[in-house]
Structure 1
Amino acid sequence: MEYSADILIIGGGLSGTMLAVQLLRQPGQRKILIIEPRAELGRGEAYSAVELGHTLNGNAARMSVDPDNPDDLTQWLTEHIAAGGWPESAEQHVPTSELFPPRGLFGVYVQQRLAEARAVGARYGSIVEHVRSEVVDLQVREDCVQLTLSNGQNLQGSFAVIATGMFPAARTPQTESSGLNAAALDPWDVAAMRQLDPQSTVLIIGSGLTMVDAVVSLEQAGHRGPIEVFSRHGLLPHVRRQPPAWVDFLAEDHSIRTPRQLLRELRRHCREAVAQGIDWQAPLDTVRAHIGRLWSQANDVQRRQFVRHVRPWWESHHHRSPPLSAELLARLHSEGRLRIQAASFKGLVPTTEGGVNIRIRRRGEVETSVVHGAALINSSGIEYDWRRVARPLPKQLLARGLVQPGPLALGIAAVDGAVMDAEGRVASRLFAMGPPLRGMWWESTAVTDVALQAKALAQRLVH
């Protein structure tokens, strides 16, 4: 059976849901289908978390889904808390705008905004429906886009939007698998962690925000043993603070174009801030609004230099940890239970004694060594290279030449959201938004990024 719509949205996490919200707010009658295998829209990987300890890594003032109202989440939280929701918020002892809500609660907020947009759309005669399935193939016809679903159903629409969100390395099948995921615990599976000996040693690969989540999960599961973390550079995310405003030096000086120039100027401003008794995070936070411009105007050599030499420090300084999680990590480190080591993961080693063995090479050493633990967690972050993602749709899109890898093989290539095929032709019916455009904008995953892209793309699709 073939089912028709005006717009097909592939993925119903934050990206797909925000696009639907923006489309429903536009005058005119249209039918929108969101194809998402999860039971709920608006959650995706990030906001399906159920533990209160898994919080946003940005405060409410930074996480509005409404690009026209930066206080939208703060206002929603104020009403929600006043109505008796999230009583634990009082433990943070800060104004509502500075709260770090649980990710599951943020999912509720997104769903409420979708419900309100449905009511607006209904007045125009627009509807959105959730098709609970996975898209496994896509073909672009002259007059439509046709999708094939995992249940055998076919859908067709005038336009299709790839809003597949992020592919967490811990949950994504890889084309060249090391077997890591098969041997590892899910970083967010608290129930599985409760089955461990509370005093046992747990090994974690990766030291970014996924690792922070994994440590929170272990703590909530009652784990009280050693935690050994291995990452190439041994860098931890800094804690997110609320610094005062700083001059937007990139808006004032457009001669800053290369990663080297940016680093030099940013360090100078950070030194000035510290000398004035101001948090160094203040100058850093002004850079955020200019990353898309700086990335797009850089050449591939400069981008490669950034990814190879600057990226680890950018990630640890910019993608910061929420305060409560940072406090937990600091406590465990001071107790000697949490140890961070600069070492590369080199593979699994068979063991007959239970638990798991991994081979690592510590930074500065030539020889590898084997480390044993009762359990292993893959916290290596997000897989942005679609060529390595063993999911049906990315594989088919690449095989058909309907998409091409983005710069440095990050996500897929696009022009103003319109997908670029293997021959460099820009599609007129196939679009993308959010994390798949990582290579085009570098920062294409944050809530504010997604909200702005959703608004712009909705206006393009409508007009």
Structure 2
Amino acid sequence: MTSEHYRPDADILIVGGGLSGTMLAVQLLRLPGQRRIVIVESRGELGRGEAYSATELGHTLNGNAARMSVDPDDADDLTRWLGEFIAAGGWPESDEQHVPVAELFPPRGIFGLYVQQRLVEAQAVGAQHGSTVEHVRSEVIDLQTDPTGIRVTLADSTQLSGRFGVLATGMFAAARTPQRDADGESDTLNAAAVDPWDVAAMRRLDPQGRVLIIGSGLTMVDTVVSLEQAGHRGAIDVFSRHGLLPHVRRQPPSWPDFLAADHTIRSTRQLLRALREQCEQAIAQGIDWQAPLDTVRVHIPRLWNQATDLQRRQFVRHVRPWWESHHHRSPPPSAQLLDRLLQEGRLNVHAASLLAVQDREAGQVRINLRYRGEDQPTEVSGAALINSTGIQYDWRRVDRALPKQLLARGLIQPGPLALGIAADAGGAVLDAEGHVSDRLFAMGPPLRGLWWESTAVTDVALQAKALAARLVASYNP
């Protein structure tokens, strides 16, 4: 069949219908022109994905409303929507935060409603010029490309075709993702662990039992919130290599964008030196050190992208733990809970590395750890184990059908430092030989290695707008 008569199932076929895939659909629907969009997403709803399917009010965004708009051209979009939502009777608990709407940290489930409403509105706009979006509820287990486009195979063996394909797979949460270690063996941590967000499962635990948590980042914060809401009142021991907790997110005043004024700062060492000087200046003036730190965020993609592999490795090895604890901060309500538990002595944080998970027996789970500074391993036991190590970005270790097939077919290659997958600056995927695809694209978390920060709402919103424009320019029906 010639390309002139080729009629695929979709003009743009999006793999994944969480925040990334949904926001791309929104941007495509808003643009003039007629196009068919198909989103393959295993969940029953679009717009939620892994992050925004949470149902507990205590699982909030880690950024306030003013920072979390899905509209890259309107920073106040979420603030206005949230104000209207609250005024209409939604989220009455918002009064407990005692701050203006722009400074509220909304529950992730409510944020999912906001994303869904923006999709409905975009569908109405798209309908005016004949554009449609269809949700196919399934999982993509294989993908192939040819000169006319892409073809995906679904879990029930159904096949769908598209002129263009977009990998908007979102985040592979370590706690919910089957994984393989460096030797290709299946991991044992998740097999013995409780889901960090499964409050119902936590209610079945001994409320006074000792809970062991591996990882001390934002997933750990969610885990502690889940345990609290489940009625757990026992000891909680957190283990991570450096024993660092996320700082609480505050609302500092504005600070001059020092990186915009000095493009000579290029290396990790230069950045840290300049940032330390700016923070010291802020503290000397009685200003929160988070003010200068917050100006760095917008420059991270540029700095990471222009860095050498050596500089990136140095950053990941020596700076990453401190960067993430200072930058990926905890929402105030959650931080207050952690602080209370620390003061009560129920929560203890240890610098230690997990070595092995022993067999679970009689309501107890045993793990082997090596505490920092010690040579010999230590066995620790508890009533439950929870994997809070965050996100698995190395697609070679993700034990799911699609990543495995894409790698096996040579359609993708690992991104820098094996973070996500490789792509050009516009999201076009690079195959195993380094060729840039003109049919397969990626956005959001899969581009972690390209931009470092590629998971936040603002990152995804900007990428969605740019990729939508590129796709539309590539194909004009």
Which of 382, 402, 405 is 2:411 aligned to?
A: 402
Q: Determine helix, strand or coil for the equivalent of 1:340.
A: strand
**1:121 lines up with 2:126 in the alignment:** yes
Q: Determine helix, strand or coil for the equivalent of 1:7.
A: strand
Residues 3, 154 of structure 1: 8 Å contact kept: no
Q: Stretches of 4+ moved more than 6 A in 1? A: none
**1:370 lines up with 2:370 in the alignment:** no
**1:146 lines up with 2:156 in the alignment:** no
- 1:15: which partner in 2? 20
| Structure 2: distance between partners of 1:3 and 1:294 | 40
* Structure 1 unaligned spans of 5+: none
- 1:427: which partner in 2? 437
| Structure 2: distance between partners of 1:5 and 1:44 | 22
> What's the offset of the Cα at 1:197?
1.1
> What's the offset of the Cα at 1:175?
2.2
Residues 192, 360 of structure 2: 8 Å contact kept: no
| Structure 2: distance between partners of 1:59 and 1:232 | 29
* 1:44-443 correspondence to structure 2 within 5 Å: 44-176=49-181, 177-350=186-359, 352-415=361-424, 416-443=426-453
Residue identity matched to 1:450: V
> What's the offset of the Cα at 1:178?
2.9
Q: Determine helix, strand or coil for the equivalent of 1:414.
A: coil
Q: Determine helix, strand or coil for the equivalent of 2:10.
A: strand
> What's the offset of the Cα at 1:81?
0.6
| Structure 1: distance between partners of 2:119 and 2:156 | 26
> What's the offset of the Cα at 1:152?
1.1
Residue identity matched to 2:340: R
Residue identity matched to 1:284: L
Residue identity matched to 2:289: W
**1:454 lines up with 2:459 in the alignment:** no
> What's the offset of the Cα at 1:353?
4.3
Residue identity matched to 2:317: R
Residue identity matched to 1:156: S
- 2:4: which partner in 1? none
- 2:44: which partner in 1? 39
| Structure 1: distance between partners of 2:100 and 2:451 | 32
Superposed CA deviations along residues 222-262 of structure 1, whole A, max 9, x for unmatched, are 00000000000000000000000001000000000000000
Residue identity matched to 2:246: P
> What's the offset of the Cα at 1:352?
4.1
Q: Determine helix, strand or coil for the equivalent of 1:257.
A: coil
> What's the offset of the Cα at 1:284?
0.3
Residue identity matched to 1:217: S
| Structure 2: distance between partners of 1:297 and 1:17 | 29
> What's the offset of the Cα at 1:350?
2.9
Q: Determine helix, strand or coil for the equivalent of 2:381.
A: strand
Residue identity matched to 1:16: G
* Structure 2 unaligned spans of 5+: 1-6
| Structure 1: distance between partners of 2:362 and 2:39 | 47
| Structure 2: distance between partners of 1:230 and 1:351 | 19
Q: Determine helix, strand or coil for the equivalent of 1:27.
A: coil
| Structure 2: distance between partners of 1:186 and 1:198 | 16
| Structure 1: distance between partners of 2:85 and 2:359 | 51
Residues 61, 70 of structure 1: 8 Å contact kept: yes
| Structure 1: distance between partners of 2:192 and 2:360 | 12
> What's the offset of the Cα at 1:12?
0.1
| Structure 2: distance between partners of 1:175 and 1:345 | 16
Further displaced range: 168-177 or 245-254: 168-177
For the aligned residues, what is the CA RMSD?
A: 0.8
Residue identity matched to 1:294: L
> What's the offset of the Cα at 1:349?
1.9
Residues 8, 163 of structure 2: 8 Å contact kept: no
Superposed CA deviations along residues 38-91 of structure 1, whole A, max 9, x for unmatched, are 000000000000000000000000000000000000000011111111100011
Residues 300, 407 of structure 1: 8 Å contact kept: yes
Residue identity matched to 2:343: S
| Structure 2: distance between partners of 1:448 and 1:150 | 32
Q: Determine helix, strand or coil for the equivalent of 2:412.
A: coil
| Structure 2: distance between partners of 1:12 and 1:318 | 27
Residues 178, 347 of structure 1: 8 Å contact kept: no
Q: Determine helix, strand or coil for the equivalent of 2:9.
A: strand
Residues 141, 153 of structure 2: 8 Å contact kept: yes
In structure 2, relative to structure 1, the CA distance for the partners of 1:134 and 1:351 (3 Å cut) is closer
| Structure 2: distance between partners of 1:141 and 1:350 | 47
| Structure 1: distance between partners of 2:360 and 2:247 | 36
Question: Identity, % of aligned pairs?
Answer: 75
Q: Determine helix, strand or coil for the equivalent of 2:245.
A: coil
| Structure 2: distance between partners of 1:257 and 1:442 | 15
Superposed CA deviations along residues 11-31 of structure 1, whole A, max 9, x for unmatched, are 000000000000000000000
In structure 2, relative to structure 1, the CA distance for the partners of 1:8 and 1:351 (3 Å cut) is closer
> What's the offset of the Cα at 1:354?
3.0
| Structure 2: distance between partners of 1:241 and 1:353 | 44
Superposed CA deviations along residues 276-335 of structure 1, whole A, max 9, x for unmatched, are 000000000000000000000000000000000000000000000000000000000000
Residue identity matched to 1:298: A
Residue identity matched to 1:133: S
Residues 195, 386 of structure 2: 8 Å contact kept: yes
| Structure 2: distance between partners of 1:211 and 1:3 | 44
| Structure 1: distance between partners of 2:149 and 2:432 | 19
Q: With structure 2 as the length reference, what TM-score do the two structures score? A: 0.96
Residues 180, 187 of structure 2: 8 Å contact kept: no
